[in-house]
Chain A
């Protein structure tokens, strides 16, 4: 089965630094998402992206966060100035459609540690 790939698998950064998390969605998918999971617990929605713009975002996705699809294959999440509370597992997901019954395909995640 095709996969969503995420790099790096682990990222350690100092507080206040910028980080970019990278994702390659499945090639024929059109809808992209970022979720995060803190300490193996709740999976929280951050943002959805379609047609090169944000479709929806949560309260967590403040001005420190941004997403882009720079080259038609990669989908990136940038955190401009990291905080300790940004430490989490970040998952990228994609889907071929935005039909309400469409499942999401998840990557294996990037574990971000902010020191």
Chain B
């Protein structure tokens, strides 16, 4: 069975500082990993996805994610945080051994302070 863990409920960072939102996963077969962002009263929006062979994936709004196979992690990063990045971030995983579902982590709330 596939699962995703986001160990931090909340991450606080000052504007202009780098940010990291952590994610670890467990999946049968090859992992297909995603990050989504949710702003208040909105649906989830796709940020980026892991592409096989690229350990550093670039996505929307200056976000990137680092894939580490040995640590089964897919941490979300941004070199310089903006106040407007404050939102709820979800890591998600899908395996390649059949089934159509994408499983989401519990979410990490990011607060960027001016």
Q: How large is the interface on B (under 10, 10 to 19, 20 to 34, 35 or more residues)?
A: 20 to 34
B residues 13-58 with Cβ under 8 Å of A? 30, 32, 34, 36, 41-46, 49-51
Selecting from A12-20, A63-71, A80-88, A95-103, the interface stretch reads A95-103
Decide: A48 and B43 in contact? CB cutoff 8 A: no
Asked if A33 CB lies within 8 Å of chain B CBs, one says yes
Contact present for B51 and A41 (CB under 8 Å):
no
Contacts of B95 in A (CB 8 A): 100
Among B88, B101, B104, point to the contact of A48 (Cβ < 8 A).
B101
Contact B43 A45 (CB under 8 A): no
The answer to the question of B102 belonging to the interface, with a C-beta cut-off of 8 Å to chain A, is yes
Interface residues on A, range: 20 to 34
A104 interface residue, CB < 8 Å from B?
yes
Give B contacts to A, CB under 8 Å: 30, 32, 34, 36, 41-46, 49-51, 88, 90, 94-96, 99-107
Knowing that A91-B43, A104-B36 touch, tell me 13 more A-B residue pairs with CB under 8 angstroms: A31-B100, A33-B102, A40-B88, A42-B107, A44-B104, A56-B99, A100-B94, A101-B49, A101-B51, A101-B94, A104-B44, A104-B46, A108-B43
Nearest 7 pairs of A and B residues by beta carbon: A106-B43, A48-B100, A43-B104, A100-B32, A103-B46, A106-B44, A100-B96
